[in-house]
Amino acid sequence: MTDVRVGDYTLTDRVGVWFLLDGDERIAGTLIPQPDGSWRCKPPGSDHVRTVKPPAGVPDAASWVARQIT
């Protein structure tokens, strides 16, 4: 997947771990897909980890999850 703009961030895939990069290309958030279809995420500006599960059939789960946490 190519990098995708999500709000003020750029979503990029690095070997199966997804990052939200800020305007200076620093990591602002992390998204990690889980075997059960959920994603463990550290949203930008938060010290807490969230679990997000996209609905079945979402064509681009990483982008969908990124939009939910930003």
Q: Given this model, what pLDDT does residue 1 score? A: 66
pTM: 0.91
pLDDT value of residue 69: 97
Residue 2, pLDDT score: 82
Low-confidence ranges of the chain (pLDDT < 50): none
Number of domains in the chain: 1
The predicted pLDDT at position 68 comes to: 97
15-24's contacts with Cβ under 8 Å and 24+ in sequence apart are 18/62, 18/66, 20/44, 20/66, 20/70
Residue 16 domain boundaries:
4-69
